Amino acid sequence: MQLIKNKEFGGERPLYTAHDVELDQVTIHLGESSIKESGNIYAHDCRFEGKYVFWECRGFKVEKSYFAESARSSLWYSENGTLSDCQVDAPKMFRRMKGIDVSRCQFPNAQETFWDCSDIKLRDVTIAKADYLFMHCSNIDIQDYKQDGNYSFQYAKNVVIRNAVINSKDAFWEAENVTIYDSELNGEYLAWYGKNIRLVRCHLTGEQLLCYVDGLILEDCTFGPDANLNFEYSTVQATIKGDITSIKNPTSGSIQVEGKIGELIFDENQKAPADCKVESGASKA
């Protein structure tokens, strides 16, 4: 493997088509497509300032490096990319990629990141300003994760999340095959029009949660007092610890609430079969 150490590059395509290269303490200044059409790249303690760095790259590993805000859209159309211990200030990272492994990284400006990607693994990652995150992604495995940003995981498929805090309005809209363990989910309209959504020991806040879901399972979850008008037109099997503010027009299944139900609404707008059984520690319906 060729070693490039303590060098600076800029302009258009300075390392275009590079293969089997180790970059150590290298700076990529403003410009475009610096390492495009490359493969088997290892970068350590590097700084990336230009756009479109790793495009059409078949195998790269970046450690303890920095992507400046100007390095937007640097990770597209590539396969088998690893980032660890990096600070990524650039938005619009990871598009149309397969095989992504990210650990111990910070993304403070991550809007429109992770689009049309598959086979994604995240460990100990913090993401902020992340509107429209994980759009149309599949095969996602996340653990020890914190996110701030709306409209995340829309149309995502085959998602497993553990030990996360996700602050996101409209999260998991029309998502499919999602399982979330031991996490906090904050935001309105959670998982509307989803399919096969399973939440285990999660805490939920926000209005009108989990509506229009086909195949909803909740196991020992809790709801904040602002979580109202939940489960409308969903098929659901749920065990809820503590109280819940309101339940409205679930379509079928069973909901068991350990505490009290503030308001249970079954009105003329119910949808067939309209036979969901709801039980609480205080009453049954």
For 17-76, what is each residue's pLDDT tens digit?
999 999 999 999 999 999 999 999 999 999 999 999 999 999 999 999 999 999 999 999
Give bridge partners of residue 256 from the DSSP assignment: 239, 279
Q: What is the DSSP string of 3-64?
A: EEES-EEEEE-TTTT-EEEEEES-EEEEEE-TT-S-EEEEEES-EE-SB--EES-EEEEEES
Buried b (16+ CB within 10 A) or exposed e, 174-201: bbbbbebbebbbbbbbbbbbbbbbbbee
Residue pLDDT, tens place only, 87-123: 999 999 999 999 999 999 999 999 999 999 999 999 9
What is the per-residue pLDDT for 285? 45
Q: Is the pLDDT of residue 283 over 70?
A: no
Peptide bond into 273 cis (omega under 30): yes
User: Which residues are 237's β-sheet partners?
Assistant: 217, 254
User: In the chain, pLDDT over 90 holds for what percent of residues?
Assistant: 95
pTM for the complete prediction?
0.94
Q: In angstroms, what CA-CA distances link 132 with 29, 93, 164, 273?
A: 28, 12, 18, 35
State the pLDDT at residue 101.
98
| Contact yes or no for 32/50 (Cβ under 8 A) | yes
Mean pLDDT of 9-16: 93
Query: Quick one: average pLDDT of 128-143?
Result: 96
Question: What would the pLDDT profile of 20-35 be if each residue is shown by its tens digit?
Answer: 999 999 999 999 999 9
Long-range contacts (CB closer than 8 Å, 24 or more residues apart) made by 210-218: 210/234, 210/236, 216/191, 216/253
237 secondary structure, DSSP code: E
Q: Is the pLDDT of residue 220 over 80?
A: yes
How do residues 228-262 score in pLDDT, each as one tens digit?
Answer: 999 999 999 999 999 999 999 999 999 999 999 99
Q: How many CB atoms lie within 10 A of CB 205?
A: 18
